[in-house]
Amino acid sequence: MEPVREAARRLVVRGELEILQEGHVVDASTARGPIRVRRVDRPVDFAR
């Protein structure tokens, strides 16, 4: 499972995911035990 956690941490740094434990956002580097990930909703930039 460590490769999955590493990938999730990279996506957190990019601002694409949040890592949660017991429904609260936690620091990916200190999270121990089961984690959940959720995608961060970002506003659409129509100027691009």
Residue among 15, 46, 9, 2 nearest 27 (CA): 9
| CA dist., res. 35 & res. 15, Å (int) | 17
pTM of the model: 0.75
Q: What is the pLDDT of residues 4-41, one digit of tens each?
A: 999 999 999 999 999 999 999 999 888 899 999 999 98
Pairing of strands 17-21, 24-25: antiparallel
Q: Is the pLDDT of residue 43 over 70?
A: no
What sign has the CA pseudo-torsion 29, 6, 13, 21? negative
CATH topology of domain 2-39: Arc Repressor Mutant, subunit A (1.10.10)
